[in-house]
Amino acid sequence: MGKIILVTNDDGVRSPGIKALFKAMQAVGDAYMVAPDRERSAVGHALTMHRPLKVERLGRRAWSVNGTPTDCVALGIGKLLPSRPDLIVSGINRGGNLGDDITYSGTVSAAIEGTIMGIESLAFSLLADGPRGPKPDYGTAARFARRTARFVLENGLPYDTLLNVNIPNAGKEGIKGVRFTRQSKRVYQGAIHEASSPWGEVHYWIGGGNPLWERGDDMDMEAVMEGYVSITPIHLDLTNGAAIDWLRKRWNGDGA
């Protein structure tokens, strides 16, 4: 038996991105797909705990789950796969997961869950433009995902670390290369939209807005905007070591 690979995403089990990724992983090892039954974008690291989950078998090695990407990873590891996977790959997400987006991303959160479980994990996103832009090039993205998966299976990853990989939709120009990057800061202006119903009720829609990001040659956003694949190692320990010293110096007294 070859290496067992769990494939998941947050765009849903029928999305073109996961189909391309699943096919690519079949050339790397014994690939299994466990993914949400519908789009679950921006659910973050949510875990369903207040209702039962329904699993539907779609094929010998594919299941859909009416839950989150984190649910899919948990069920794949604990119940559905024949044995513990050697690698978890999530994606290929339509749209980037850059900067602070990773805190919302279901794609990245699936890889986070795998890393928490002690399994090397990868998240792949394609910077596809909107409906008027070029067609998403999932083929190129899948080939790069295959290359990355083989590298990780051969070399491993540092402890408690996943790779967040963002691939430009380069088209005819092609990908310029690879940059190993840091997570940048990215925020959206005007992302809250207000509208009124025919009955005068006020509603709010969260999404869109104009992105503003931190620039720098070693930043993830800068890399993909310049046509490079961004590979960012994400560490799960969020502790700010310098802030511990800062607090010790400023905290008065030993009591509460």
Task: Read off the CATH number of the domain in which 35 is found.
Answer: 3.40.1210.10
Residues linked to residue 23 through DSSP beta bridges, in sequence order? none
Taking only the tens place, the pLDDT of each residue in 163-222 is 999 999 987 678 899 999 999 876 655 566 677 778 778 777 666 656 666 666 789 999
- What pLDDT is stored for residue 134 in this prediction? 74
- Look at residue 229 and tell me if it is in a domain: yes
pLDDT at residue 130 tops 60 = no
- Look at residue 209 and tell me if it is in a domain: no
- Look at residue 117 and tell me if it is in a domain: yes
Q: Cα(209)–Cα(18) distance, rounded to whole angstroms? A: 27
- Look at residue 106 and tell me if it is in a domain: yes
If we measure between CA atoms, which residue out of 59, 62, 67 comes closest to residue 37?
Answer: 67
- Look at residue 61 and tell me if it is in a domain: yes
pLDDT at residue 147 tops 90 = yes
Residues linked to residue 64 through DSSP beta bridges, in sequence order? 35, 56
- Look at residue 256 and tell me if it is in a domain: no
pLDDT at residue 129 tops 90 = no
Taking only the tens place, the pLDDT of each residue in 29-42 is 999 999 999 999 88
Domain of 178 in residue numbering reads as 4-187+214-250
- What pLDDT is stored for residue 190 in this prediction? 55
CA dihedral 92, 98, 101, 103 (to 10 degrees): 90
Q: CA 112, 116, 121 angle in degrees (round to 5)?
A: 50
- Look at residue 206 and tell me if it is in a domain: no
- Look at residue 118 and tell me if it is in a domain: yes
Residue at 136: amino acid letter: P
Q: Cα(37)–Cα(27) distance, rounded to whole angstroms? A: 25
Domain count along the chain: 1
- What pLDDT is stored for residue 196 in this prediction? 79
